[in-house]
A and B are shown apart, each in its own frame.
Chain A
Amino acid sequence: MGNQVGDVATTKPDSTAETTIAADDWQPSIVAFLCNWCSYAGADLAGVSRLQYGPNVRIIRVPCSARVDPQFILKALQNGADGVLVSGCHPGDCHYIHGNLVARRKFAVIKKFLEHIGIESERVQFSWVSASEGSRFAALMNSVIDGVKRVGPSRKLVKEL
Chain B
Amino acid sequence: MEDRVEQTSQAIRNEARRLFEADEIDVFIGFESGSLPLSSRPAFLTAEEIAQDPSKIDTLVWDSFCTSNLATYLLRYYANEPNRRKKREKPYPRVGIAVKGCDCRSVYTLAKERQVQRDSLRLVGVPCAGMVDVRKIQEQCADEIVACEEVDDSISITLRNGESTKIDREKALRRSCLECRFPKPENTDSIIDTPARKPGDGGRATLEAFEQKSSDEKWQYFSDELTKCIRCNACRQACPTCWCKECFAEHTDLKWIGVGSDLTDAMVFQITRIYHQAGRCVECDACYSACPMGVDLRTYTNRIAQDVHELFDYLPDFNPETSPPLATFSEADSNDFITDPEQAHE
Taking beta carbons and an 8 Å cutoff, which residues of A are in contact with B?
70-71, 74-75, 78, 85, 91-92, 98, 101-102, 104-120, 125-128, 136, 139-140, 142-144, 147, 156-159
Contact = CB atoms under 8 A, between A and B. Distances in A.
B26 interface: no
B156 interface: no
A159 B262 contact: yes
A108 B337 contact: yes
B334 to A, nearest CB: 7
B338 A126 contact: yes
Interface of B: 210, 215-222, 248, 256, 258, 262, 264-265, 267-268, 271-272, 274-275, 278, 300, 303-304, 307-308, 311-312, 325-326, 329-331, 333-335, 337-342, 344-345
Contacts of B337: 107-108, 111-112, 126
A19 B303 CA distance: 33
A74 to B, nearest CB: 5
Given A74-B272, A118-B218, A91 B341 contact: no
A115 B275 contact: no
B75 to A, nearest CB: 23
B215 A119 contact: yes
Contacts of B258: 159
B339 A136 contact: no
B342 A136 contact: yes
Contacts of A78: 264, 268
Contact of A101 (B268, B325, B330, B339): B330
Majority-rule SS of A interface residues: helix
A16 to B, nearest CB: 17
A28 to B, nearest CB: 15
Nearest 8 A-B pairs (CB), nearest first? A118-B219, A118-B218, A139-B341, A101-B329, A140-B341, A143-B344, A159-B264, A125-B339
A70 B273 CA distance: 11
Given A74-B268, A108-B311, A109-B307, A117 B300 contact: yes
A121 B78 CA distance: 42
B341 A127 contact: yes
Contact of A118 (B222, B262, B275): B222
A149 to B, nearest CB: 14
Nearest to A91: B331
Contacts of B325: 105
A118 B221 contact: yes
A139 B329 contact: no
24 contacts: A74-B271, A74-B272, A91-B331, A101-B329, A104-B335, A106-B326, A107-B337, A108-B311, A109-B275, A109-B304, A112-B307, A113-B303, A115-B215, A116-B303, A118-B216, A118-B217, A127-B341, A139-B341, A139-B342, A140-B339, A143-B344, A157-B267, A158-B264, A159-B262
A114 B264 CA distance: 14
Contacts of A144: 339
Given A92-B331, A157-B264, A113 B275 contact: yes
A142 B344 CA distance: 10
B275 A143 contact: no
A159 B256 CA distance: 13
A156 B331 CA distance: 34
Contacts of B303: 112-113, 116
A144 B341 CA distance: 8
A119 B338 contact: no
Contacts of B217: 118
B333 A105 contact: yes
Nearest to A70: B275
B304 A120 contact: no
A127 B340 contact: yes
Nearest to B307: A112
A107 B311 CA distance: 11
A156 B219 contact: yes
A117 B217 CA distance: 9
Contacts of B307: 109, 112-113, 116
Given A127-B341, A157-B264, A113 B274 contact: yes
A148 to B, nearest CB: 12
Contacts of A91: 331, 335
Given A71-B256, A105-B325, A143 B311 contact: no
Contact of B341 (A111, A142, A156): A142
Contacts of B311: 105, 108-109, 112
A127 B308 CA distance: 20
A36 B153 CA distance: 62
